[in-house]
Amino acid sequence: MPVLKTYRTEALVLKNHPLGEADLLVVCYTRESGKVRATARAARKVSSRLVGHLEPLTLVNLSLTRGRTLDQVAQAQVADSFPALRNALPALSRGLYVAELLDGFGSEASPNPELYSLALEVLAGIGRSPESDLPLRYFELRLLETSGLLPELYQCVECRKPLVPGDHRFTPNGGGTLCSQCAPLGAHLRPLSVRTLKVLRLLHRQRLAEIPSLTIDHQLAQELKATLTASVEHWLDQQVRSSAFLDHLRRTTPAEPATESAAHA
C-alpha cells in the first residue's frame, strides 16, 4: 500500500531550532507516529501563517508533507497552547522538563500512544499546580513504565522475594528495589525509605487526578526526586539539562512542607 505523501496528525511540540535564514526545524511527538522532525519553511518571518503555532509546549493539528529526510509542515492549527504553563516560570520550567524527557525517550517512527496521553495528562496537572513536583515524579515513573523500564517496587530484584516492611535499597542500574540481604555485584545502591517506597507504589497504582492528599516534606521530596532521577538518567544515559534549572528555582524559592493532592496536582 503506497504511503500518503501528505498526512495530518495531532502533535505536541517539544522544541524548535532556527534553520537557514527564516525556517524552523521542529521536533514534536505524535500519537500515531511517535517523534517527528519536520521543517517549517519561512516560519520565522513575521508574515508567516505559522508564527506562534510551533512553539514548545503547544498542541497543534499539523498537515505535513513527507520528505526524503525530513517532513515539511504545510499547515498548523493550535489545539491547546497550555496557557496555565506560560503564566508562571515554575510551571513553564516543569513543562519543558516533561518535553525534554519525552524527546529523550520517544523514538521516531515508533508510536507509543500511552506515552503521548501521559504527557498531556501531566502537562494539565502541572498547569493546575505550578509549584508542585508531584506531577514530575508521576511522569518519571510512568514514563519508565510505558517505555518497558519500570523499576521493581514489590519484590527484591535479586532474590525475587516479596519486600517486607522496612527500609530497603534501590539500584537504578539493577532494575529497582533490593531487600536488606541482597547486594549484587556492580549494583549502584541508594537508600530507600519506607515512605518513599509507599509513594512510588501509589504513583504506580493510581492516575494523577486520583492520587489522594499527600504530605511531602523536604526530605521525602528529595529522596523521591533522587530515586527517580537516577533511574531516568541511567536509561537516558545522560543528565537531564532542564533539571538543573528546576533545582535552581527550588533553591531560590524555598517552599514550606505542604500537603499535595490530586485536586492541586
8 A C-beta contact, residue 180 and residue 159:
no
Q: What is the pLDDT of residue 257?
A: 46
Q: Is the pLDDT of residue 262 over 80?
A: no
Q: Hey, what CATH topology would domain 84-260 get?
A: de novo design (two linked rop proteins) (1.20.1440)
* CATH among 2.40.50.140, 3.40.50.2300, 3.30.1490.20, 3.30.2130.10 for 6-81: 2.40.50.140
- Distance, CA of 55 to CA of 44 (rounded, Å): 11
Residue 86, phi then psi, degrees to nearest 5? -95, -5
Q: Binning pLDDT at 50, 70 and 90, where does residue 264 land?
A: very low
Q: Between 144 and 263, where is the model more confident?
A: 144
Q: Is the pLDDT of residue 176 over 90?
A: yes
Q: What percent of the chain has pLDDT over 90?
A: 70
Residue 61, phi then psi, degrees to nearest 5? -95, 115
Q: What is the pLDDT of residue 254?
A: 56
Q: Is the pLDDT of residue 228 over 90?
A: yes
Q: What is the pLDDT of residue 166?
A: 84
- Cα diameter, the chain: 66
Enumerate the domain spans of the chain: 6-81, 84-260
For 93-131, write each residue's pLDDT tens digit: 999 999 999 999 999 888 999 999 999 999 999 998 888
Q: Between 3 and 44, where is the model more confident?
A: 44
Q: Binning pLDDT at 50, 70 and 90, where does residue 31 land?
A: very high
Q: Is the pLDDT of residue 162 over 50?
A: yes
Mean pLDDT of 204-223: 91
Mean pLDDT (the chain, rounded): 90
Asked if 6-81 and 84-260 have one fold, the answer is: no
8 A C-beta contact, residue 37 and residue 26:
yes
- Distance, CA of 196 to CA of 211 (rounded, Å): 15
